[in-house]
Amino acid sequence: MTVSVLLALSLATSSPAASLLFHSTADGDAEAVRFGDMADLSDLPSELRAPAAALVIWRPVDGRRSVETTSASVAARARALLPALTPYLPAAAPSKSVLLRLAARTEISDKAPSTTARGDVEAVRSKTAPVVPRLSPVVVSLTVGPVVVQRETTALQNGYAGRPLFVRTAEGEVLRVMVPGDAQ
- Per-residue pLDDT of 26-62, as tens digits, reads 888 878 888 988 888 888 898 888 998 899 888 877 7
Q: pLDDT (tens digit, 9 = 90+) per residue, 104-114?
A: 654 433 444 44
Distance CA 66, CA 107 (A): 20
pLDDT at 143: 85
Helices (H), 82-182: 120-127
**pLDDT exceeds 80 at position 8:** no
**pLDDT exceeds 60 at position 4:** no
Distances (CA, A) of 129 to 75, 114, 125: 30, 19, 8
Strands 137-144 and 147-155, bridge-based pairing:
antiparallel
Q: Amino acid identity, residue 14?
A: S
Top-confidence residue, 65 or 154: 154
Lowest mean pLDDT, pick from 27-36, 126-135, 172-181: 126-135
**pLDDT exceeds 50 at position 133:** yes
pLDDT at 142: 84
Distance CA 1, CA 23 (A): 43
**pLDDT exceeds 50 at position 10:** no
Q: Per DSSP, what are the bridge partners of residue 169?
A: 153
Give the helix/strand (H/E) hosting 6: helix 2-14
Distance CA 144, CA 124 (A): 34
Q: Are 88 and 20 in contact (CB under 8 A)?
A: yes
**pLDDT exceeds 50 at position 99:** yes
pLDDT at 105: 54
- Listed in sequence order, the residues at least 6 apart from 182 whose beta carbon sits closer than 8 Å to its beta carbon are 161
